[in-house]
């Protein structure tokens, strides 16, 4: 499997002859460029066009994050997999209201399924689980617009997040979900994890013929690559939230891993390392796929989700979103 590299320290990416190096003040490490798919850069890293050109020859994507760990943007080499046919049909599914709602609903359905899956094993969250089920079952058959769907999803998500207080350590109490900027540790963790998933999904989309800017649940105008937001909905609860629960309940991440600025709260370098490490393990964990009869990693399931969308667009097979069966 193609690997993901996370750079959390400061240094320089340099091409020397036909090798890519990451140099810090103390060490110089060569990077196995043939086997790298994406690099997430958190540290203060210098690089030049010589390095960028070399990196793009191998179709490697760079994701940049700022000082606070917020996603800044990506460098994506010229796309090799372009199919005008797929893009045109993808756009048709956006323009047709019924078709668009169908796909948007699929993303939310899977997201809610995975939220409920996360709470199912927890006794403390039972009441919340029931509340989510009620809200969802009552609402899901009366959706006639994207904004109604968004509203329902928002209500479900509020119940879901408020249940966190029941089973996470007290230090990580959450009043409500806050995004820009997160002002407390739990919100900081969720934001950090979500932006990592967003860029990971973007990498998978890049390797397919999908156009990342044509989306269904989110408005295409909302963000440049909003299809990545759509697909992320499925994987946020499935991957990010379960990583957060594990790290907090095992006390691997504690309050000392956070820094606070005026009204920001963010993971410090050590905290990021721990989080990234756990997230990487999760993404590389494999589950036997029932049709393929092969072990597929969580990252692989993201790719398969893209394939299913393509098959939906070309009229091959109706999209049915992932619902973790394991």
Number of alpha carbons in the 13 Å side-chain half-sphere of residue 111 = 25
Is the Cβ–Cβ distance between 308 and 317 less than 8 Å?
yes
84 binds another protein (CB under 8 A): yes
How many CB atoms sit inside 10 A of residue 322's CB? Answer: 18
- Consecutive H or E run containing 62: strand 61-65
User: Any contact of residue 83 with another protein (CB under 8 A)?
Assistant: yes
User: Using the rule CB under 8 A, is 324 a contact of another protein?
Assistant: no
* CA distances from residue 247 to 62, 189, 253 in whole angstroms, order as listed: 26, 10, 6
Residue 315 CB, shortest distance to another protein, in Å, is 4
For another protein, the binding residues in 282-311 under the rule CB under 8 A are 289, 291-292, 296, 300, 303-304, 307-308, 310-311
Q: How many helices (H) and strands (E) would you count in the chain? A: 10, 12
Query: CB-wise, 35 or 138, nearer to another protein?
Result: 35
Nearer to another protein, 14 or 308 (CB): 308
> Applying CB under 8 A, does 3 fall inside the site for another protein?
no
Check binding of 1 to another protein (CB under 8 A). no
Q: Is the dihedral of CA 196, 199, 202, 207 positive or negative?
A: negative
**How far apart are the C-alpha atoms of 27 and 47, rounded to whole Å?**
16
Complex with another protein: residue 42 or 206, whichever CB lies closer: 206
> Minimum distance between the CB of residue 229 and another protein, rounded to whole angstroms?
22
CB of 173 to another protein, least distance (A): 41
SS3 300: helix
For residues 24 and 300, is the Cβ–Cβ distance under 8 A? no
Q: Which residues carry a binding-site annotation for Mn(2+)?
A: 153, 218, 233
Backbone angles phi and psi of 61, in degrees to 5: -100, 135
Binding residues, as ranges, are 153, 218, 233
Residue 80 interacts with another protein (CB under 8 A): yes or no: yes
Residue 138, CA distances (Å) to 82, 141, 152, 275 in order: 41, 7, 10, 36
When asked if residue 81 is in the footprint of another protein (CB under 8 A), the reply is yes
CB of 3 to another protein, least distance (A): 14
Which positions from 180 through 239 interact with another protein, judged by CB under 8 A?
A: 207, 209
| Interface ranges with another protein (CB under 8 A) | 80-86, 207, 209, 289, 291-292, 296, 300, 303-304, 307-308, 310-311, 314-316
């Amino acid at each position: 499997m193609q690997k993901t590299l996370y750079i959390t320290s400061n240094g320089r990416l340099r091409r020397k002859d036909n090798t890519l190096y990451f140099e810090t003040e103390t060490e110089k490490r060569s990077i196995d460029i043939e086997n790298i798919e994406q690099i997430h850069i958190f540290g203060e890293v210098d690089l030049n066009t010589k390095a960028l050109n070399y990196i793009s020859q191998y179709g490697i994507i760079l994701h940049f994050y700022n000082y606070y760990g917020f996603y800044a943007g990506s460098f994506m080499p010229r796309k090799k997999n372009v199919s005008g046919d797929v893009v045109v049909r993808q756009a048709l599914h956006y323009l047709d209201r019924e078709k668009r709602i169908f796909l948007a609903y699929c993303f939310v359905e899977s997201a809610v399924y995975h939220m409920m899956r996360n709470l199912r094993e927890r006794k403390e969250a039972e009441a919340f689980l029931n509340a989510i089920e009620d809200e969802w079952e009552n609402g899901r058959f009366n959706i006639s617009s994207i904004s109604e769907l968004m509203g329902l999803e928002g209500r479900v998500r509020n119940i879901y997040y408020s249940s966190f207080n029941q089973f996470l350590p007290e230090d990580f109490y959450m009043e409500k979900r806050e995004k820009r900027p997160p002002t407390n540790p739990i919100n900081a963790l969720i934001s950090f994890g979500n932006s990592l998933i967003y860029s990971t999904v973007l990498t998978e989309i890049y390797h397919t013929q999908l156009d990342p800017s044509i989306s269904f649940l989110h408005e295409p105008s909302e963000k440049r690559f909003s299809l990545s937001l759509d697909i992320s909905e499925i994987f946020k609860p499935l991957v990010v939230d379960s990583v957060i629960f594990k790290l907090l309940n095992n006390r691997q991440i504690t309050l000392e891993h956070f820094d606070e600025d005026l009204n920001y709260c963010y993971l410090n370098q050590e905290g990021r390392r721990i989080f990234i490490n756990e997230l990487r393990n999760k993404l590389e964990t494999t589950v036997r796929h029932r049709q393929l009869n092969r072990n597929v990693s969580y990252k692989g399931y993201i790719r398969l989700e893209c394939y299913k969308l393509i098959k939906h667009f070309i009229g091959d097979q109706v999209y049915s979103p992932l619902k973790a069966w394991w």
